Amino acid sequence: MSNNKNRRKGNAQTASSSRAAELLQASGISIPYLGLDALNLTAGLPTDVNDVNQLIDEIGANVDPELRIIFKKLTKRDLQTREKAAKELMDALKESSNDYDKIKNAFPSYASVYSKLVTDSSSSLRSTSNSILALFVATLKKDAGSYLKSVIPFLFFSLQDGYVQVAKNAEVAVNDCFPSEEKKKLAMTTFGQEATNICLQMMSRQHKLIQPQKFVELESDAQRQTRLIAQSLNTLEAFIETSPGLAESIAPSFISSQSFANLMNMDPNVKAAAFRLLKNLIKSDVSQILGTRIPSFLLQNLDSTDTLLCRNCFECFLIAGKDPKFFEIVKVDKAVIPKFLSLIRKKGL
């Protein structure tokens, strides 16, 4: 009598959509925005493996063999291997520009690793990753489907990358993906909330991508946190003007003494980004900070030797100073004037 045995590697059992979602989430993708169509493509995932490579195996079942090899290289520990693989993928896609099905079948695999690539320690890899994404989306257009919901929020996040070239490539990618202002606005409306959620999770150190990673060639875990938190703050600041109600929704938690104090214990880049966001949050209501430790933090950093931090802090001080009640807390003679004198001496004015 025949016995139909499970022929999957290691006799792994079929997983449900929820298990597929767990694996996608492990790569930094927020599942509520993926949609059922995306999860249905991942049926049959092994239950005993939570590696992104395994995810690529499953959702990339129809991927061209050459591209499958490249995708595996993108997840390797060695930095040069990852950077080389990204360039190989770009070249392969350009050479296959007339093979629509080949590009379409490869996109789910790329979407599953894009969030890791665009937050990698290598600025070169982050930059190339945005160019690759633009090529995929511009080619596939509507057929990019529900996977857009897992990549576009991170593309918006990349617009505020601390490296100029990465941010420029992200801007080019946005223009390629959404060539008209109308489409850009629609994309912001559709994916802006998820990008905001990513930033808030990064700032609270809850997002998986801000946790210690296996790729540590160019930066320590602390440096990675600093980079991504500063980028998150700058992304939120950039979103405020285009996202009605965002400032009101994030202000209470951001301005709370403990939240802001945690940021003040970090690198000057994070502090500078924090004050940049703060000045936009208090424009309409300075009283929000009067019962917190923020006035003290303003004074502490007003004469910082870091130019960006000093400038952002000073701009916040000017906005806060428009409210007379601010100077009931911050005494001009005892606190403000000594700081200005210190600033003048340090800057040699």
Residue 60, pLDDT score: 57
Report the pLDDT value the prediction gives residue 94, as an integer from 0 to 100.
Answer: 95
* Joined tokens for residue 235: 């992304």
pLDDT at 342: 67
Residues in the chain with pLDDT values less than 50? 1-25, 27-50, 348-349
Res 211: pLDDT: 87
Q: Cα(319)–Cα(94) distance, rounded to whole angstroms?
A: 50
The predicted structure's pLDDT at residue 244 = 81
Its pTM stands at: 0.79
For 296-332, write each residue's pLDDT tens digit. 999 889 888 898 998 999 899 899 989 989 888 877 6
pLDDT of residue 36: 29
